[in-house]
C-alpha cells in the first residue's frame, strides 16, 4: 500500500516540476499579488489564520493516529498542486483552473485542506507567479476553506441520502470547485464595488466572467476525482472511514 502511494505521490510531484519548467504566462484565477486593497488583504488573512491553526491541529491528530497516512496526505497535496496549477485562459482574458480539493475533503475532512491549500498557494505564489503572498489569505479562504467546507457538506448529505458513492464524490469535487469561484467573485466585488450597482453588481460581473470557463472545468474535475477515488478504492488504499 505505502509503496504504491509513494509512486502516485512521486508522479504528482513530477507533473508539478514539469509545470514549473514549462514557460507560461502568469494569468491566474488566484487573486494576484498586490491586487486587493491592503485593508481587504489583511482582513482575509485574519480570517484565514484561525482556519489554518485548526487544520494544523487536525493534521497532527491524523498523523498521530496513523503515521501511514502521511503518504496519502502527500498524494492529496500533489493532486491539489497539479490541478490548481493548470491555468486555462478564458474568452474574457481571465483564467480558470481546477482546485483539486475534493479528494482531500473526502479522505480527511475540510480542516486538513486549509493546511494543504496554504502550502500549495505559497509554492505557487513563489514559484509560478500564481496568486501572491499578500492575497494568500483571500485565496486560502476561497480555495482551502469555504470551498472545501461546502464540498464536505455536500459529500455528507449525499452519503446520508443514499446516493451512489461515485455520485457523491463527483458532487463534492464539482461544487467545491464552483464555490471557490463564487467566493472569489464576492471577494473581488467587495473590494471593487461597481459605481452604479455596488458590491452585488460587481460580484455578478466577476461570476459571469468565471462561469464561462469554470462550469465545464468543474464538471471535468468532478469526473477526474471520481476516477482517482475509484482507483484508490479498488486497491484498498483508502482509510476505512472514507470507503
How do the pLDDT tens digits run along the chain, 243 residues long? Answer: 445 444 444 444 444 443 333 333 333 457 888 888 999 999 999 999 999 999 999 999 999 988 888 889 999 999 999 898 887 765 444 467 889 999 999 999 999 999 999 999 999 888 887 788 999 999 999 999 999 999 999 999 999 999 999 999 999 999 999 999 999 989 989 998 988 889 999 889 888 877 878 889 999 999 999 999 998 888 777 765 565
What are the cell numbers at 39?
485593508
Of the chain, the end-to-end C-alpha distance in Å amounts to 16
What are the cell numbers at 64?
498521530
Q: What is the pLDDT of residue 137?
A: 94
Q: What is the pLDDT of residue 131?
A: 81
Q: Which of 145, 32, 136, 125 is nearest to 85 (CA)?
A: 125
Q: What is the pLDDT of residue 242?
A: 60
pTM for this model (two decimals)? 0.83
Domains observed in the chain: 28-235 (1.10.1760.20)
What are the cell numbers at 125?
505564489
What are the cell numbers at 90?
478564458
Amino acid at each position: 500500500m505505502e509503496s504504491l502511494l509513494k509512486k502516485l505521490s512521486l508522479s504528482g510531484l513530477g507533473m508539478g516540476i514539469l509545470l514549473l519548467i514549462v514557460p507560461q504566462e502568469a494569468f491566474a484565477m488566484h487573486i494576484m499579488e498586490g491586487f486587493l486593497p491592503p485593508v481587504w488583504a489583511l482582513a482575509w488573512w485574519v480570517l484565514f489564520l484561525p482556519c489554518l491553526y485548526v487544520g494544523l491541529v487536525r493534521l497532527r491528530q491524523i498523523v498521530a493516529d496513523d503515521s501511514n497516512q502521511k503518504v496519502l496526505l502527500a498524494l492529496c497535496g500533489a493532486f491539489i498542486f497539479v490541478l490548481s496549477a493548470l491555468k486555462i485562459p478564458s474568452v474574457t482574458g481571465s483564467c480558470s483552473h481546477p482546485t483539486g480539493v475534493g479528494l482531500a475533503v473526502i479522505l480527511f475532512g475540510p480542516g486538513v485542506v486549509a493546511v494543504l491549500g496554504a502550502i500549495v498557494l505559497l509554492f505557487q505564489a513563489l514559484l509560478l507567479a500564481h496568486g501572491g503572498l499578500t492575497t494568500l489569505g483571500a485565496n486560502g479562504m476561497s480555495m482551502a476553506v469555504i470551498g472545501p467546507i461546502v464540498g464536505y457538506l455536500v459529500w455528507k448529505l449525499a452519503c446520508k441520502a443514499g446516493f451512489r458513492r461515485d455520485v457523491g464524490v463527483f458532487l463534492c469535487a464539482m461544487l467545491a470547485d464552483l464555490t471557490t469561484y463564487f467566493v472569489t467573485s464576492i471577494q473581488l466585488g467587495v473590494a471593487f464595488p461597481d459605481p452604479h450597482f455596488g458590491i452585488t453588481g460587481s460580484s455578478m460581473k466577476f461570476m459571469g466572467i468565471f462561469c464561462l470557463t469554470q462550469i465545464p472545468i468543474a464538471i471535468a474535475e468532478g469526473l477526474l476525482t471520481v476516477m482517482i477515488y475509484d482507483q484508490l478504492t479498488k486497491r484498498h488504499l483508502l482509510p476505512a472511514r472514507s470507503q
